[in-house]
Amino acid sequence: MTSRKPLPWSYSALDDFKNCPRAYYEKKVAKSVKEEPSEQMIWGNKVHKHFEDRQKFSTPLPEVLAEHEPFMQELEDLTKRPGVTVYTEGKIALNKRLQPCGFFDKDVWWRGVIDWAAHDGKTGRMVDYKTGKPHQKYEQLAMFAIHLFTAAPTLQRVDVEFYWTKTQTSTAKSFERAKIAELWGLFTPDLKQYVEAFKTDTWQPRQSGLCAGWCPVKDCEFWRPKKVR
């Protein structure tokens, strides 16, 4: 039996593994297939880049995104308060001792990229820009909050929100430092399976709707062409 060292994980990587260990293995471990970006992903990356440049360099938004300027200004105003720490497309990471570390450190265990966040050492606000359909999956932001609590020991609460670009609306939630153990509990069961897969080098396929032409692993027994409507 071959045992592998687990790769550093991110929320999206762990979610990919949960959806189908076999597909995750082929894409991230064996690297036998490459997932081509969809039009939605390409557009999402463009929006994130324009929002990043607006916040970091005060670069005006292009006309197609000009309607988001009031929200961009709202975030910018928050960064001007004294004593505020700001993350704009901030690359963050934790090592295996669950301490903040460099994104590419040798002992890195978890990685993430915060779209925008600011805190004053007591309370913080975090925003994740979303160009797709609304959902209520806050686990990714919970992981980002864990990092902020670890990096800023005096921080007590982080208010997180998804900013839905299609409707210019937000949905929000709050995380408290006292609940860190509960937040970790959101990931522990899946992480145990993740580590076990590397330890035993076992990557079972998991059938789902993504098998219908969305998955790049075409030699899987569950893969089938996308239906033509």
Q: Quick one: average pLDDT of 133-145?
A: 95
Q: d(Cα 82, Cα 80) in Å, to the nearest integer?
A: 6
Q: Which helix (H) or strand (E) holds 94?
A: strand 85-95
pLDDT band at 210 (very low <50, low <70, confident <90, very high): confident
Render pLDDT for 33-58 as a digit per residue (tens, 0 to 9).
988 888 999 999 999 999 999 999 99
- Extents of the domains making up the chain: 37-186
pLDDT at position 212? 86
Tell me the whole-structure pTM to 2 decimals. Answer: 0.92
pLDDT at position 228? 63
Residue of 11, 18, 22 lying closest to 205 (CA atoms): 22
Please check whether residue 109 is in contact with residue 146, taking contact to mean a CB–CB distance below 8 angstroms.
no
Q: Which helix (H) or strand (E) holds 11?
A: helix 11-19
Cβ neighbourhood burial of 115 (10 Å; 0-12, 13-18, 19+): buried
pLDDT at position 73? 97
